Amino acid sequence: MIHVLDELRVRPGHLAEVRGLVRETYEAAVTALGMTLERTWIAPAVELLDQPTDLLLLWAVDDTPAYWGARRGALADPRVAAFWQAVTPLLTHRGRRIMVDPDERGGRR
């Protein structure tokens, strides 16, 4: 199992809008590509209206070939491009971490 952590730092006052875009556009597109949204968090634990809020999205994908298939598919999917075009002005930063349990086969060199 591979986990992908999307870290979206949302401008103050836009958390609901970004979450709506994730649900309505991005999640449907990447789910069709084999990724599953496992968890969603915000940090800090409440939305502050004078500071950015981090929206953390934890996705799961079965294995390395599935990850690369989803990645290639996302690059070609107009829904994914539309999502990033719409959401980027609402963010101050975005990051992504690709993670695997080091004891699982996919994490070995």
**Mind listing the pLDDT tens digit for each residue in 73-82?**
999 999 999 9
101 phi and psi, to 5 degrees?
A: -65, 125
d(CA 86, CA 72): 21
How far is residue 40's CA from residue 18's CA, in Å, rounded to a whole number? 12
| pLDDT value, residue 105 | 64
Exposed, middle or buried, 53 (CB in 10 Å: 0-12/13-18/19+)? buried
How do residues 38-68 score in pLDDT, each as one tens digit? 999 999 999 988 999 999 999 999 999 999 9
pLDDT for the residue numbered 16? 97
For residue 103, the model assigns a pLDDT of 86
Say how far apart CA 83 and CA 14 lie, in whole Å.
15
Domain extent listing, the chain: 2-99
Element housing 2 (H / E): strand 2-10
Question: Which CATH architecture fits 2-99?
Answer: 2-Layer Sandwich (3.30)
